[in-house]
Structure 1
Amino acid sequence: MINIIICEDEKCYRDQVKEMLVKMAFSLDIEIQTECYCSAEEMLAAYENREKSYELMIFDIEMPGCDGLQAGKIIREQYQYDGQLVYLTSHAELMQDSFEIGTNQYLVKPIEYKEFEAKLRPIIKKIIDNDKRITVELVAGGLQIIPMKDITTIQAKSQGRKGGVIIQTTRELIEAFGKMADFENMLEKRKFFRIHKQTIINLDKITQFDGVEATTVDQQRYKVSRNKKRELKDLLLRNF
């Protein structure tokens, strides 16, 4: 299930975007759930009390009161939203300002389905890809299923013959059994990279690499081994 927010003050465009999403979901054989809001204020109030995560948000830029750009900045900075963000606009020149917020894509009104599908299909496929999960054995007992997209880093921590790790996710720290090499094999190599013998990092969670340390979305800094620096730089450039 992919949860999507649509925030657009014009009903005709809200309905159109929803219909296009449903059509694309049918063609991809996936389930989606959409929530529609006619103002950024209404959307932000609902998001503050959210009970689930949203993989995709589609905002109109030009709305009365709090516009889509302001809403996107609040979502990114105040709520640390790192999901997919798509903008709608009647004026393409406004898109320049959205790039600073972290726009994944944009659509110019009036919207044609052919363009909608061309731009949104790769995003939806990326969301599906990011929904992959791993199951870990907890040090405290039991098992836990963790979405790969939620993992920021995995660091080695000795727990005896079973090995051990600390998994930093967007929500919590998890102590689990396992060896770093096993986690390397479980995780997708195009998404995760072992920057140090004791640290595996999610490439999508890196906000800065200064040549010595990698900084993640939670403002933590991790040392990169000398022999890993060039490869990390190449991976980040390729992902960008």
Structure 2
Amino acid sequence: MVVILAVDDDIHTLELISIYLSQSGYRVIKAVNGKDGLNMLEREQPDLAIIDVMMPVMDGLQLTKLVREQYNIPVLLLTAKGKLEDKEKGYIAGSDDYLVKPFEPKELLFRIRAILRRYDKTSDVNIRIGNMLINRKSFEVQIGDQVLVLPLKEFELLSKLASMPNQVFTRDQLIETVWGIDFEGDEQTLSVHIKRVRERLSKLETQIQIKTVRGVGYKLEEST
């Protein structure tokens, strides 16, 4: 499951973010100022940080700079200021996107998904888990001495699951990544593709399995 760190001294905003993102399949960890946010980063391993600019103890720009220096995760800045010079400061500090308060929760969700997609595309060309090697450049899956060439959608699905082993991806996250946000089909399409990938893996000597997490989605893991 994707973990998001939300840092904001406004408790109401923090709760709004937590409730909405939790309902959308993310795990949210919260901090009320920049120093508290740094402490959370040391204990957890979030995939993205949502940081308010105006905070006591340590403001959002300072925190963003430290996140950029010490952690390789994207940052979405929140601010009550929408002037161009304020946005410029945010981007100079290292933010990936900028959202002005008050905001619609749906817009926050869209921006988070867009940022995570961009980071996923710039990840390593090769993914290795157990005896399976996925080459994103050649679109080949090598298991031991055997090379498996999958249809594009199946390859993208397997790559997404393998990019973060043991992490649960919701059905919506997988559909949006593989088929796009404008996909007009249903979850049955995803189920069919998962079944096909499972059947292909089962024919080869591998301990890699796609597990169903009932009511949530799927994860890829190496069985022992």
TM-score, length-scaled by structure 1: 0.49
Q: Identify, as 1 or 2, the structure richer in strand.
A: 1
On the 8 A contact 1:131/1:147 being kept in 2, the answer is no
In structure 2, the CA distance between the partners of 1:131 and 1:66, relative to structure 1 (3 Å rule), is same
Do the aligned partners of 1:24 and 1:121 also contact (CA within 8 Å) in 2? no
**Residue 102 in 1 paired to residue 94 in 2?**
yes
Give the letter for the 2:111 counterpart: K
2:190 is matched with which residue? none
Q: How does 1:178-217 map to 2 (within 5 A)?
A: none
| Alpha-carbon distance change, 13 to 144 in structure 1, aligned in 2, over 3 angstroms | farther
For the structure 1 residues 114 and 34, does the alpha-carbon distance in structure 2 shift closer, same or farther, using more than 3 Å as the test?
closer
Would the alpha carbon gap of residues 116 and 47 (structure 1) be closer, same or farther in structure 2, given more than 3 Å must change?
closer
Aligned pair count? 141
Residue of structure 2 in register with 1:111 after alignment: 103
Are 1:133 and 1:145, in contact at CA under 8 Å, matched by a contact in 2? no
Change (3 A) 1:106 1:20: farther
Take 2:39 and 2:74, find their aligned partners in 1: how far apart are those partners?
20
| Paired position in structure 2 for 1:214 | none
- Contact persistence 1:88–1:106 (CA under 8 A): yes
RMSD across aligned positions (CA): 3.8
Tell which has more relative contact order, 1 or 2 (C-alpha 8 A, sep 6+).
Answer: 2
Tell me how far apart the structure 2 counterparts of residues 21 and 122 of structure 1 sit (CA, whole Å): 14
Q: Is the 8 A contact 1:4 1:57 kept in 2?
A: yes
* TM-fit CA distance, 1:134: 2.3
Q: Which residue of 2 aligns with 1:53?
A: 45
1:91 aligns with 2:85: no
1:134 maps to 127
> Is 1:72 aligned with 2:64?
yes
Please list the CA deviations of residues 84-122 of structure 1 after superposition, one character each: whole Å capped at 9, or x if unmatched. Answer: 100000012222101112211111111112422332232
**Aligned-residue offset at 1:146:** 9.0
| Structure 1 gap segments, 5+ residues each | 26-31, 137-142, 149-176, 179-185, 189-240
1:13 aligned to 2:13? yes
| Counterpart for residue 27 of structure 2 | 33
The residue identity in structure 2 corresponding to 1:7 is V
Instruction: Tell me if 1:82 matches 2:75.
Output: no
Counterpart code for 2:73: G
Contact 1:3 1:53 in 2 (8 A): yes
User: What is the rounded CA distance, in whole Å, between the counterparts of 2:67 and 2:132 in structure 1?
Assistant: 26
Contact 2:90 2:98 in 1 (8 A): no
Cα distance in structure 1, aligned partners of 2:12 and 2:36? 18
Which consecutive unaligned segments of at least 5 residues does structure 2 have? Answer: 136-143, 146-154, 160-224
**Counterpart check, 1:63 vs 2:30:** no
Distance apart, 1:58 and its partner CA? 0.4
SS, match of residue 61 in structure 2:
helix
Give the superposition deviation at 1:125: 3.9
For 2:74 and 2:133, the matched residues in 1 are separated by: 20
State the shift of 1:76 in Å.
1.1
- Contact 2:80–2:101 under 8 Å retained in 1: yes
